[in-house]
Amino acid sequence: MALFWTQLASLLGPPGQIGPPGPQGAGVPAGGSTGQLLRKRSAADHDSEWVTAPAAEPLFIQASPPSAEQLAGASRYQWWDTSGGALTLYIEDGVN
C-alpha cells in the first residue's frame, strides 16, 4: 500500500509546546570592517578573528598562458589551463 503526502499529513498529531530558549551562543566576534574576512585563529572552538583580505593575484581560466597585456606587470598569477580536456593549475610565484 502506498501513502501519498496528503494522506501522511493527516496522520500527524498536533504540534507540541514551544520549549524555552537555549543559552546564548558564542556568535560572531564584534568588529570587522567592510571587506574584512572572518577566519579561524586556532583549532579551538569559537576562536576566530576579523582580518583584512589578502591582495588578490590575477587569475586566468583559459587555454593559453596569460599575455603580458593581461598580466599588466604582475609577477605572480594563477592560470587554469583548459586545453587538452583536463584542467591544470599553474602558479607563477615570481621566484626565479
Residue 45 pLDDT greater than 80, yes or no: yes
DSSP state of 2: -
- Tell which residue, 80, 47, 52, 87, has the closest CA to residue 66: 80
Average pLDDT over residues 35-47: 90
Question: Which strand (E) or helix (H) includes residue 70?
Answer: helix 68-71
Q: What is the mean pLDDT of the chain?
A: 82
Would the pTM count as exceeding 0.85?
no
Band of pLDDT at residue 20, cut at 50, 70 and 90: very high
Contacts of 40 (CB under 8 A, 6+ apart): 47, 48
Cα(44)–Cα(28) distance, integer angstroms = 14
Name the residue ranges covered by the structural domains of the chain. Answer: 59-92
Residue 67 pLDDT greater than 70, yes or no: yes
